[in-house]
Structure 1
Amino acid sequence: MSQTARISVLRQGSGGPGMPSASAPIGETFAVARAPNRTTADSRPGEGDHGQPAPGGPLPADEQPEVTVASEHAGGPGGSDTGHRNRRPAVFIIGFIVLAALVLGGSYYWYANLDLVSTDDAYVDGRVVTIAPQISGLVVSLDVTDNQYVHRGDPLIHIDPRSYMSERNRAQGALDSAKAQAAGERLATEISRKNFPALFQQAQAQLLTAQANLTKAQADYDRQSTLPKAATAQQEVDAALAALRQSKAQVMQAEAQVQLSSSVEQHIGESDAQVEQLNGQVEQAQAQLDQAELNLSWTVVTAPQDGWITRRNVEMGNYVTPGQQIFSIVSPDVWITANFKENQLDGLRPGQSVKIDVDAYPRLDLRGHVDSVQMGSGSKFTAFPPENATGNFVKIVQRVPVKIVIDSGLDPKRPLPLGISVVPMVSVR
């Protein structure tokens, strides 16, 4: 019984003598036919005890193996095409599955983003309060440091208060003096309200007295002038005439005094005006005192609201002046300013929900809503807005700022610095 061994031979080029040509396909299988084992006792030299060839011994000529070539691609000239045809259905199925997955994925992405409007031109915005001293002076105490959180009313710096205390004391003295003068004038006015009517009545009484004396003097003179010269002396006549003239003068003086005293209301009004003038001086002195006390209070610069200290520009020992920027306070109240393109505004409405992705904190899930749309594009409020009515015109898509209020998701341990980039996605339906 013959035994056949199959041997695979890998070609690398054209074979040597006795080998099949290089045109044969790689990986051919050779069938080796062995002669039956000889187990008889007439073993030839070189065989083992059981008739097997001795190791390393040559085979006899009549037992040389018959080598035949059997190609794996049997079937004639078309054997290679048959293998390719067997692999084509699998390639088609895999390609169809990949194409279907791409179509389904693209459709889902399109449908999921159909109602979303987004922009990467967005950033965190908020209120920044500039802190500047109201008075000038030397900084004697610095009570805060960079990026410190402060509350409303917390002291920030102290300015040397000694000169302002001196001004306050001087204003206080001027106020006390003005108040004393005003009080004295008010007393004088009360007295004049009684004196001026009494003086008027006194002048009227003196006029009546002068008129009575004039009547008596006139009667004495008439009597003396009508008497015969033998019945009176010239001296008596002259005396009566002098008394008459004196009485007339007294009447004129009394009338003048009555006229002077008759303006009682005017005199009282004058006194009241002086009182008002002194009251004005009191108020002026009070204002100077208030200003001095206000300047003294401004020697302690306090925080106007809660927030973080930023851009500190002062050190202890610096001389500061009014209006000099020494701090900025960033308020905790922040929002998102998103600059949407003008062709994205059609679906935007106040109140629409917004999902906000923060580049700095990828795991932060912020939610908010559209608050308002600015009534003007960003270019309209620049220092030099474009003049489209002059020269050539090139249409540029404008961007309009939209304010988005954050409703939830803020982490107190991760404050949002102003100006960092975010990506809002607005659900327009």
Structure 2
Amino acid sequence: MQEEMQEGSGRSRKTAALVIFGISGIICLVAALFYVRYKNTHISTDDAYIDGRVHTVAAKVPGTVRQVHVADNQLVKKGDLILEIDAADYDVRMDEAESGLETEQAKLVEAEVRIETARKQLSELGYRLEASRANLELQEANLRQADWDIKRAEKLFQQEAISRERYEKTKTGHDVIAAQVKAARDQVRQVEMSLETQKSLIRQAESARASQGSTVRKNQSVLKSAALNMSYTNIYAPSDGYITKKSVEPGNQIQAGQPLMAIVPLEELWITANYKETQLTRVKAGQKVKISVDTYPGKKFSGRVDSIMAGTGSVFSLFPAENATGNFVKVVQRIPVKIVLDRDTDPEHVLRVGMSVEPTIRIQ
């Protein structure tokens, strides 16, 4: 009886072991199937980091830093005053430019007045020329009559029809009228010469005005440049974001183009993931992505594939690989993929540029 019980107990243990082994095998098989399915529908990489826009703040004009209104890691809004440069020198240049412009504008007004006066004088000379020509025509008509009278008087004198006294009187009248015609012609020529001289003076005055106008415009440009440089003494935040890499303090002497700090807008972040080229066969824009961040273990962020770079990372490196030397070793290339984060990402877990992440793309 005891032997039968022991024999039954042994069979039960064998059966239980077989059941456990079978269940374990099924679990392993299911797990393997799930793993294979997961690997076929998801791709991931740990060669990824958070990327973003970094706005470098640089001085546009040289000078001495008067005041810095921000500190490292401070949040600023677009348009906030973040730094002031001593504007004393630029204020002096503004005053000089304004004074120079006023002087040149006064000279331009004087040139305009001279032209206006010269044109009035030209108009008066025009009237004088018309009057002189009219007088010349009248005197020439009188001379024609005097010519006829002297010819008639000569004929009558030869016929002794008139006295010598009358003849001489007629001849004297003719000579007087001839002298008046000559004087009228000289007057016309003189007025014509004065008219041409006045026209030449007007052309010179207009040329001087054009030159002065150019000088005024040049001084306006100088004033505009001075005002622009004056405005550059106040530096404002180009965007919302956090101040980083601040390298300037009050009293520092800075140069134009010198980087002073950077602003990083954390609301405009994305992920640059360097996937192997063999992983990207079925990757397309719009596919969903789950992201693990080393800083926040257990926290998952969501996003989507935005785009795939047009070339591998090595193509855009400073020293691209040269494979034409005969010592070629094939290496799987990596292609950067841009992944944008969903806007409803947890705001309590702040992401920062440069953080290491592991994105997983669901490709089906």
TM-score of Structure 1 vs Structure 2, range by shorter chain = 0.7 to 0.9
1:323: which partner in 2? 257
1:34: which partner in 2? none
2:229: which partner in 1? 295
Return the alpha-carbon distance in structure 1 between the equivalents of residues 283 and 109 of structure 2. Answer: 70
Q: Please report how far the alpha carbon of residue 400 of structure 1 lies from its aligned counterpart in structure 2 after TM superposition.
A: 1.2
Amino acid at match of 1:405: V
Check if 1:282 corresponds to 2:216: yes
Q: Which one is further off, 291-300 or 201-210?
A: 201-210
Q: Which one is further off, 347-356 or 264-273?
A: 264-273
**Change in 2 beyond 3 A, CA 1:110/1:266:** farther
Query: Aligned to 2:338, what secondary structure does the other structure show?
Result: strand
Q: For 1:350-369, what aligned pairs fall within 5 Å after superposition? A: 350-369=285-304
> Of the two, which has the highest radius of gyration?
1
1:127: which partner in 2? 53
**Change in 2 beyond 3 A, CA 1:287/1:84:** same
Match of 1:385 among 316, 320, 337: 320
Return the alpha-carbon distance in structure 2 between the equivalents of residues 263 and 394 of structure 1. Answer: 90
Amino acid at match of 1:316: P
Amino acid at match of 1:285: N
Match of 2:89 among 139, 163, 167: 163
Amino acid at match of 2:278: N
Match of 1:136 among 38, 54, 62: 62
Q: For 1:204-219, what aligned pairs fall within 5 Å after superposition? A: 204-210=130-136, 212-213=138-139
Q: Which runs of 5+ in 2 are unaligned?
A: 4-8
Q: Please report how far the alpha carbon of residue 348 of structure 1 lies from its aligned counterpart in structure 2 after TM superposition.
A: 1.0
Q: Which one is further off, 408-417 or 103-112?
A: 408-417
Match of 2:276 among 322, 341, 359: 341
Aligned residues: 347
Asked whether the 8 Å contact 1:364–1:409 carries over to 2, the reply is no
Return the alpha-carbon distance in structure 2 between the equivalents of residues 284 and 418 of structure 1. Answer: 47
Asked whether the 8 Å contact 1:214–1:251 carries over to 2, the reply is no
Query: Aligned to 1:186, what secondary structure does the other structure show?
Result: helix
Asked whether the 8 Å contact 1:197–1:264 carries over to 2, the reply is no
1:401: which partner in 2? 336
2:362: which partner in 1? 427
Alignment deviations for residues 82-128 of structure 1 (CA, whole Å, 9 cap, x no partner) = x9999776666555544443333222222233211211111100001
Amino acid at match of 2:351: L
Cα RMSD of the aligned pairs, angstroms, is 3.7
Match of 2:109 among 175, 183, 188: 183
Asked whether the 8 Å contact 1:196–1:267 carries over to 2, the reply is no
Amino acid at match of 1:149: L
2:240: which partner in 1? 306
Return the alpha-carbon distance in structure 2 between the equivalents of residues 412 and 300 of structure 1. Answer: 33
Return the alpha-carbon distance in structure 2 between the equivalents of residues 418 and 194 of structure 1. Answer: 75
* Higher-RCO chain (CA-CA 8 Å, sequence separation at least 6): 2
Q: Please report how far the alpha carbon of residue 213 of structure 1 lies from its aligned counterpart in structure 2 after TM superposition.
A: 4.3
**Change in 2 beyond 3 A, CA 1:412/1:184:** farther
Return the alpha-carbon distance in structure 2 between the equivalents of residues 298 and 151 of structure 1. Answer: 19
Return the alpha-carbon distance in structure 1 between the equivalents of residues 237 and 216 of structure 2. Answer: 34
Query: Aligned to 1:348, what secondary structure does the other structure show?
Result: coil
Q: For 1:185-200, what aligned pairs fall within 5 Å after superposition? A: 185-200=111-126
Check if 1:149 corresponds to 2:75: yes
Q: Percent identity?
A: 34
**Change in 2 beyond 3 A, CA 1:88/1:298:** same
Query: Aligned to 1:369, what secondary structure does the other structure show?
Result: strand
Q: Please report how far the alpha carbon of residue 380 of structure 1 lies from its aligned counterpart in structure 2 after TM superposition.
A: 1.4
Q: Please report how far the alpha carbon of residue 241 of structure 1 lies from its aligned counterpart in structure 2 after TM superposition.
A: 6.3
Return the alpha-carbon distance in structure 2 between the equivalents of residues 164 and 411 of structure 1. Answer: 48
Asked whether the 8 Å contact 1:182–1:278 carries over to 2, the reply is yes
2:305: which partner in 1? 370
Amino acid at match of 2:252: N
Return the alpha-carbon distance in structure 1 between the equivalents of residues 60 and 182 of structure 2. Answer: 75
**Change in 2 beyond 3 A, CA 1:318/1:215:** same
1:109: which partner in 2? 35
Return the alpha-carbon distance in structure 2 between the equivalents of residues 239 and 386 of structure 1. Answer: 114
**Change in 2 beyond 3 A, CA 1:372/1:194:** same
Return the alpha-carbon distance in structure 1 between the equivalents of residues 255 and 172 of structure 2. Answer: 90
Check if 1:118 corresponds to 2:53: no
Return the alpha-carbon distance in structure 1 between the equivalents of residues 363 and 98 of structure 2. Answer: 66
1:248: which partner in 2? 182
Asked whether the 8 Å contact 2:142–2:177 carries over to 1, the reply is no
Alignment deviations for residues 121-169 of structure 1 (CA, whole Å, 9 cap, x no partner) = 1110000111111111111211111111111111222111111111111
Return the alpha-carbon distance in structure 1 between the equivalents of residues 59 and 99 of structure 2. Answer: 27
**More helix per residue:** 2
TM-score (norm 2): 0.80
Return the alpha-carbon distance in structure 1 between the equivalents of residues 203 and 283 of structure 2. Answer: 72
TM-score (norm 1): 0.69
Asked whether the 8 Å contact 2:146–2:173 carries over to 1, the reply is no
Asked whether the 8 Å contact 1:131–1:326 carries over to 2, the reply is yes
Query: Aligned to 1:105, what secondary structure does the other structure show?
Result: helix
Alignment deviations for residues 168-210 of structure 1 (CA, whole Å, 9 cap, x no partner) = 1111112222333333433444444544233223123223434
**Change in 2 beyond 3 A, CA 1:220/1:426:** same
**Change in 2 beyond 3 A, CA 1:256/1:133:** same
Return the alpha-carbon distance in structure 1 between the equivalents of residues 354 and 182 of structure 2. Answer: 100
1:64: which partner in 2? none
Asked whether the 8 Å contact 1:137–1:160 carries over to 2, the reply is yes
Return the alpha-carbon distance in structure 2 between the equivalents of residues 372 and 260 of structure 1. Answer: 81
Asked whether the 8 Å contact 1:369–1:404 carries over to 2, the reply is yes
Q: Which one is further off, 399-408 or 104-113?
A: 104-113
